[in-house]
Amino acid sequence: MRLCSKLAALLKKSRFLPFAAASAAVSSTSAAASAATMQDSAASTPLRTKVCVIGSGPAGHTAAIYAARAELKPILFEGFLANDIAAGGQLTTTTDVENFPGFPDGILGLELTDRFRLQSQKVGTNILTETVSSVDFSTKPFRILSDSTLVLADSVIVATGAVARRLKFPGSETFWNRGISACAVCDGAAPIFRNRPIVVIGGGDSAMEEANFLTKYGSKVYIVHRRDAFRASKIMQKRALENPKIEVVWNSEVVEAYGEGGTGPLAGVKVKNVVTGDVLDIKASGLFFAIGHEPATKFLAGQLELDADGYVVTKPGSTHTSVKGVFAAGDVQDKKYRQAITAAGSGLHFRINGLFNCKSSREFKLVDVPDNINPKFMLFSCVW
Ligand SMILES: Cc1cc2nc3c(=O)[nH]c(=O)nc-3n(C[C@H](O)[C@H](O)[C@H](O)COP(=O)(O)OP(=O)(O)OC[C@H]3O[C@@H](n4cnc5c(N)ncnc54)[C@H](O)[C@@H]3O)c2cc1C
């Protein structure tokens, strides 16, 4: 404990401490507007907390579990069909998860997310089944508002994830998870795709990467692209075009997916040439959407720095955002790894990046950890 106070004092003196004051990207006009909206809407008594988590995937629940175990009594908004996805996040849209450690026989996505929730609740997280509609990060405590609840929080973790874009055509829902997926890294190695033809839809870097990746498993990979040129970087295009197992179907879009005996699993797709109108029948066991992701950040506009694609900008290697005391974890700030385990890992980063000043084992105060302090050292010198 003494060591802890020393470190806390050191933190106070640190020249790095004002780092997050760089909230320049925040638009004061929209912050003021959203504050006014909140005052109007805050009919009921606000809930007060040290830590508010927005989002209910692996990142959100990991952050909540660590915060709850530190007796910070977190409030977590899990969303109510936020972005048309059930509380629990993207894993609720898939069947078997076979790459999350601890489940040698795999586990259903829904069951895994139920377990995250159960564990979070068990350690003391207060879970609200509501979607956050606006936030005000311009003053402290921060204000987080859903349709019916206003939460005032000393710190916020944004873990609202992203949604993989999908296309709609006859069969796209029927064969979802029965041959159709939006995550090659997650599902590509499944036995149903082994040594069988696979179709990838897209023309950007992700489509090139996923197509190349899938050639490890499929007998052949067709990239269906609606234009006559890719928008992927030259190097990524080159890799795909030079791969002997990849064939490109230009100027075309998938118009139907069908299954064996009509009901599945997926047996093939009909692909229409948008120039000639010809329809090609491709026999395939897999269809992967690789047309990008949409981060769930609309409610943050003007409050946090977002990049051109709408992802929350975090300081490299950390979960710090443009506003001190607001952290972002998981897919909402990660375009690269996009996996449950990496999302969960970044949920823990919050605990390290925004560590706690241990005055006593019962009283914690959130502080930002400067870069010149080894956060692990801090972590172990606190009483849990
Ligand atoms: C089809 C598919 C299969 C996948 N399979 C695997 C796999 O096998 N293994 C693997 O490791 N990864 C897999 N992934 C990737 C994995 O699901 C994600 O990387 C991971 O779920 C990201 O976690 P997250 O916590 O960042 O956010 P998400 O899982 O996206 O969860 C965030 C959730 O927060 C809630 N939310 C959003 N907005 C709000 C709001 N305004 N207010 C309140 N709540 C809100 C919603 O419920 C939202 O879904 C798969 C993804 C997909 C799409």
Percentage of the chain lying above the pLDDT 90 cut: 71
CA of 162 to the centre of ligand 1 (A): 6
Alpha-carbon gap, residue 339 to 329, rounded angstroms:
12
Q: Are residues 182 and 239 in the same domain?
A: yes
Domain that holds residue 68: 2-163+293-381
Domain end among 263, 289, 315:
289
Domain end among 289, 321, 337:
289
Atom 30, ligand 1: which residue's CA is nearest?
A: 161
Which DSSP string do the residues of 169-209 spell out, in sequence order? -TTTTTTBTTTEES-HHHHTTSGGGTTSEEEEE--SHHHHH
Q: Are residues 174 and 92 in the same domain?
A: no
pLDDT tens digits, 124-173: 999 999 999 999 999 999 999 999 999 999 999 999 999 999 999 999 99
Question: Two tokens at 44?
Answer: 């009921």
Give the global pTM. Answer: 0.78
Question: Two tokens at 9?
Answer: 């004092």
314 within ligand 1 shell (Cβ under 6 A): no
Question: Which of 207 and 261 is assigned the larger pLDDT?
Answer: 207
Q: Is 382 a catalytic residue?
A: no
Average pLDDT on 58-63 reads 97
Q: Is 186 a catalytic residue?
A: yes
Annotated catalytic residue within 52, 136, 186, 331: 186
Q: Are residues 145 and 18 in the same domain?
A: yes
User: Cβ(146)–Cβ(131) under 8 Å?
Assistant: yes
Alpha-carbon gap, residue 221 to 216, rounded angstroms:
10
Atom 47, ligand 1: which residue's CA is nearest?
A: 87
Q: Are residues 52 and 11 in the same domain?
A: yes
Domain end among 243, 268, 289:
289
Cα-based distances in Å from 166 to 135, 183, 291: 28, 11, 7
Atom of ligand 1 nearest to the CA of 339: 19
Say what the pLDDT of residue 44 is. 67
Query: Across all residues in the chain, what is the average pLDDT?
Result: 84
CA of 196 to the centre of ligand 1 (A): 28
Alpha-carbon gap, residue 175 to 318, rounded angstroms:
38
Domain of 285, CATH number, reads 3.50.50.60
pLDDT tens digits, 182-237: 999 889 999 999 999 999 999 999 899 999 999 999 999 999 999 999 999 999 99
Alpha-carbon gap, residue 251 to 230, rounded angstroms:
10
pLDDT tens digits, 288-305: 999 999 999 999 999 999
Q: Are residues 62 and 190 in the same domain?
A: no
